[in-house]
Amino acid sequence: MDKKRVAIQGIKASFHEEAALKFFGDDIETIECSSFKQTCQALRNKKADYVVMAIENSIAGSLLPNYTLLRDYHFSIIGEVYLRIQLHLLALPGVKFEQIKNVESHPIAIRQCIDFFDEYPHLNIKESTDTAACAKRIRDEQLTDTVAIANQLAAKLYNLEILERRIESNKKNYTRFLILTDHKETDIPGANKASISFQTTDEVGSLAKVLNIFAENEVNLTKIQSMPVLGRRNEYNFYVDVEWDKTAHYQEAISKVLRHTVNFTLMGEYLKNDRV
């Protein structure tokens, strides 16, 4: 059986690959992409079977450009992964902390470790496109004056030592990833979570009515994100995640919500997976 081809933003040992391995297991083929849009293109062009896409971080918040990609590409969401973000300081074997002059990583990873680096103002901090790519560059170029902020997977893959463990400021830092596909058959047995998008009608209180419908039918609203409709003043797309215990209640809620919304899109029904 052919391996599942999973497109990720970044390279091997990035957090996106870690999320892919957590969801699919080890028997996958990772398709490395330089941007989130490129992952979507890989899926559209049949160079990948799935995309793993970060959608929100507990510190940085929602990744708004990725909501735009969800809207533009119309892929189905078939799952989610929550990944604990643990950040380590990686260096070539034998390098001592006193030798370090430069620190490289993704800007979000750097921000998440700012308390640690406040204690070492002499270090030159450089932003890069990917945590794992920084680790790989240290290995490839044998840099003895540079460290990377990355995960344990990167340390193992690129044969680097962990100089300092868990340097992130918030130890409860996690990122939520969505699993996307363009397969037509996407029914998930036992699905108990859904991602939907819609616009409300212009009648007074229409959004409140939609939210009340979910509450009245015992459907839990776990996320709501608004995005402006391009070119239309004061109009918004709402992206909503809901969970339910009884499918009949969810189905009843959706049938009622349709009466109060326009451009309603069911982006995916899948299994809740909030373990970190």
The catalytic site residues sit at 175, 177
How confident is residue 185, by pLDDT bands cut at 50, 70 and 90? low
Looking at CATH, the fold of the domain delimited by 4-84+173-181 is given as D-Maltodextrin-Binding Protein; domain 2 (3.40.190)
Mean pLDDT over residues 105-119, rounded?
Answer: 92
Tell me the pLDDT of the chain averaged across its residues. 94
Structure tokens at 41: 């293109």
Task: Return d(Cα 198, Cα 258) in angstroms, integer.
Answer: 9
Q: Work out the average pLDDT over 173-194.
A: 90
Total-model pTM: 0.92
Contact 167, 31 (CB under 8 A): no
Domain 193-270 falls under CATH 3.30.450.20: no
| pLDDT at res. 1 | 64
Chain segment 188-224, per-residue pLDDT in tens? 999 999 999 999 977 788 899 999 999 999 999 999 9
List pLDDT tens digits, range 40-59.
Answer: 999 999 999 999 999 998 88
The CATH 3.40.190.10 portion of the chain extends over 4-84+173-181, 88-164
Q: Is the pLDDT of residue 119 over 90?
A: yes
Domain at 88-164: CATH code? 3.40.190.10
pLDDT of res. 82? 97
**Structure tokens that stand for 156 in this block:** 């193992």
- Which pLDDT score, from 0 to 100, does residue 239 have? 97
- Quick one: average pLDDT of 93-107? 95
Per-residue pLDDT of 227-268, as tens digits, reads: 988 877 778 899 999 999 999 999 999 999 999 999 999 999
**What is the DSSP code string of 49-74?**
SEEEEEEEETTTEE-HHHHHHHHHH-
35-45 pLDDT, tens digit each: 999 999 999 99
